[in-house]
């Protein structure tokens, strides 16, 4: 009887861990690949982005903890955590 309980626990544990591994796939790789749009690199500061790329068309945020802000330049979007670039992407054109 104890053996059945152990197998049940193991089965549940494996099932839960497998469920955590499933998720939606983002299109970031296909959006960025082959893009020749100049955009800020990771670690660049907000002041550095402003100096190089000018004022964004739209500023959003900060939202959440840590605070995440986005700046939309039209042909690319920059994501900041606090004052530093964490990612920049070229939006998918449909």
Residue 7 falls inside a structural domain: no
Residue 17 maps to a domain: no
What mean pLDDT is predicted for residues 60-87? 96
Res 36: pLDDT: 82
Within-domain flag for 16: no
In a domain, 1, yes or no: no
What pLDDT shows up at residue 1? Answer: 45
Q: Which domain holds residue 94?
A: 25-94
Backbone angles phi, psi at 81, to 5 degrees: -115, 120
What pTM did the predictor assign?
0.63
**86 lies in some domain:** yes
End-to-end Cα separation, the chain, in angstroms: 59
- Asked if pLDDT for residue 86 goes beyond 50, the answer is yes
Q: Between these two residues, 85 and 37, which has the higher pLDDT value? A: 85
Q: Can you spell out the DSSP letters for 9-62?
A: HHHHHHHHHHHHH--PPPSHHHHHTT-----PPTT-BHHHHHHHH-S-SEEEEE
Q: Does 13 reside within a domain?
A: no
Q: Is residue 63 part of a domain?
A: yes
Residues 32 and 88: their CA atoms lie apart, in Å, by 9
pLDDT tens digits, 33-68: 456 889 999 999 999 999 999 999 999 999 999 999
């Amino acid at each position: 009887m104890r053996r059945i309980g152990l197998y049940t626990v193991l089965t549940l544990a494996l099932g839960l861990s497998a469920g955590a591994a499933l998720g939606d796939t983002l299109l970031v790789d296909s959006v960025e690949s082959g893009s020749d749009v100049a955009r800020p690199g990771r670690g660049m500061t907000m002041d550095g982005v402003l100096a190089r790329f000018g004022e964004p068309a739209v500023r959003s945020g900060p939202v959440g903890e840590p605070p995440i802000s986005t700046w939309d330049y039209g042909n690319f979007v920059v994501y900041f955590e606090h004052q530093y670039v964490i990612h920049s992407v070229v939006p998918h054109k449909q």
